[in-house]
Each structure stands twice: as C-alpha cells, then as structure tokens.
C-alpha cells in the first residue's frame, strides 16, 4: 500500500507540517510520496531528501525574512528570494527531483497563462522558489519558459498531484480559519482575506484525503513569523498526538 502526504502552503505556519511529520513518524507511518505547495514544498523537499523532522526544524529556523530575501526594486514584486535560493542549495545540493529519496510533486501557478503546474522532475530548487513566490511580495519566478507565482493561488493543498498514485492519502493543512478574528489593522484584514480566499480551494482537496490533519490555534501567527517556529511546531505536534493514533493509520501501516 502506497501512502501519500500533501502539505499545504501557509508561510511560517508551514512549520506545522514538521510537527505533523514528527508525530506520524512516532505512529510508525511510512510516507511513500509527497506533494507540497509554497511552505509545504520546502518542508516536503527536505523530508523527501531524507532529513528527519527535528533537523528540518533546525534548518527552517535559519530562514528569516532578513536572511532569505532581497529588495527587487521592480514592478513585479517587493522582494526577491536570493537568500532562500542559497539556503535551499546548501541543504538540497543535488538540486534534482530525481535525487530525492521519496518522490515529490511541487505546485506552482503560471501567471501569464493562468495555469496550475505540478513539477516532479528536473531542477528542484527553482520549482520550490516558484511555488513560494507570494504575489505582490516576491517577484514572479522565471522557470522552464514560464513565469510562476505561489502555487496556493490555485491549489494550496496539492492532493490531486499525487492522488492517483496513492492507496492512502494524508493531508496536512495549516490554514484553519479561526472564528474569533479581531481586525485590529488593515494588514490583518488583508492577510485574513487572502487566507479565506485560498482556503476555498482546499475544500474539495480535503475530500480526497483519507485523513486530514488541521491543527487549530495557528491563525494567530502571521505568514512571516518564522521566529515563532518552535511554538508552531509544538502546537501541530501536540494536536496530532492528541487527536490521532496508530489506529487511525492502520490501513496505511498494514501494507501487504
């Protein structure tokens, strides 16, 4: 039986996927194929490379808004991801989908054609950067004769990229919408509005999952609060351990 894992986008909240992975490993769940969007593509690539969740957390904590981005000074975005590229190449030096220990699919949106693309072969790091190019924040990413922005625009939980290849599919979604929102400023209103819009395209994806893990209490963290990585990890890990057990994954564990 082949077990798949889909990891949503969510900026700094994507650290939650690492906590989910830690819990899944403790449950004895073996992942055979991964798909990720934006932050989920970073975590997914690190895991598919072979890094353990604890090591991925250490690596992610090195990605700060100051180290990983540079001013773009052009019409297409405010920042470019030179620092992120350097960091990804440091920890994914083969820069190849084919060199990963676990097959990976990465979702990105081609902005000129308005099309969703799933990448699963060839150069790895440019595909991840394309998937992470948040509109109006980062410059669109040129890649394979296309121009790409964040995969979350069309598919923030890329279940469809791997659904046909799985017998059992787990979705990790880090963008639960809290109902106690207090709009203190315009930044908060804009971020929540974008979160709600992106959330809409995950509803049908959730229906394709055998198990969906969606930790609560992450809504209070902003997309760039990577300094809160340990807190986000702990919330997701504790939520997964408290709400799931090995029995929830029995079908996945009892492989023929």
**Which pLDDT does position 204 carry in this prediction?**
85
75-108 pLDDT, tens digit per residue, is: 454 556 667 888 899 999 999 999 999 999 999 9
User: How would residue 63 be classed by pLDDT, with cut points 50, 70 and 90?
Assistant: low
Token pair, residue 197, equals: 């819009």
CB-CB contact of 10 with 174 (8 Å)? yes
* CA torsion, ordered 52, 109, 147, 96, to nearest 10 deg: 30
What are the helix and strand counts (H, E) for the chain?
Answer: 10, 10
131-170 pLDDT, tens digit per residue, is: 998 887 778 889 998 999 999 889 999 999 999 999 999 9
**HSE, side-chain direction, 13 A CA sphere, residue 29:** 28
Q: What is the pTM of this model?
A: 0.89
Token pair, residue 101, equals: 């220990």
Token pair, residue 124, equals: 């790895």
Active site residues: 38, 150
Q: Return phi, psi of residue 120, to 5°.
A: -145, 10
Nearest CA to 192 out of 206, 170, 176, 207 is that of 176
Token pair, residue 92, equals: 């994914």
């Amino acid at each position: 039986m082949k077990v798949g894992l889909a990891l949503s986008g969510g900026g700094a909240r994507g650290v939650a996927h690492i906590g989910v992975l830690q819990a899944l490993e403790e449950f004895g769940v073996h992942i055979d194929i991964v798909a990720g969007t934006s932050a989920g593509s970073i975590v997914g690539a690190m895991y598919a490379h072979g890094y353990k969740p604890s090591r991925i957390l250490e690596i992610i904590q090195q990605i700060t808004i100051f180290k990983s981005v540079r001013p773009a000074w052009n019409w297409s975005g405010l920042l470019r991801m030179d620092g992120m590229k350097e960091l990804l190449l440091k920890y994914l030096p083969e820069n190849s989908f084919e060199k990963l220990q676990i097959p990976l699919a990465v979702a990105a949106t081609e902005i000129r054609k308005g099309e969703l693309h799933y990448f699963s072969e060839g150069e790895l790091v440019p595909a991840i950067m394309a998937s992470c190019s948040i509109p109006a924040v980062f410059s669109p990413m040129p890649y394979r004769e296309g121009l790409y922005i964040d995969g979350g625009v069309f598919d923030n939980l890329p279940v469809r990229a791997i659904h046909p290849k799985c017998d059992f599919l787990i979705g990790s979604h880090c963008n639960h919408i809290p109902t106690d929102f207090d709009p203190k400023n315009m930044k908060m209103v804009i971020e929540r509005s974008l979160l709600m819009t992106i959330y809409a395209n995950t509803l049908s994806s959730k229906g394709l999952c055998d198990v969906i893990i969606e930790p609560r209490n992450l809504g209070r963290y902003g997309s760039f609060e990577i300094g809160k990585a340990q807190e986000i990890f702990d919330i997701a890990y504790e939520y997964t351990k408290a709400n799931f057990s090995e029995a929830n994954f029995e079908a996945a564990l009892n492989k023929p």
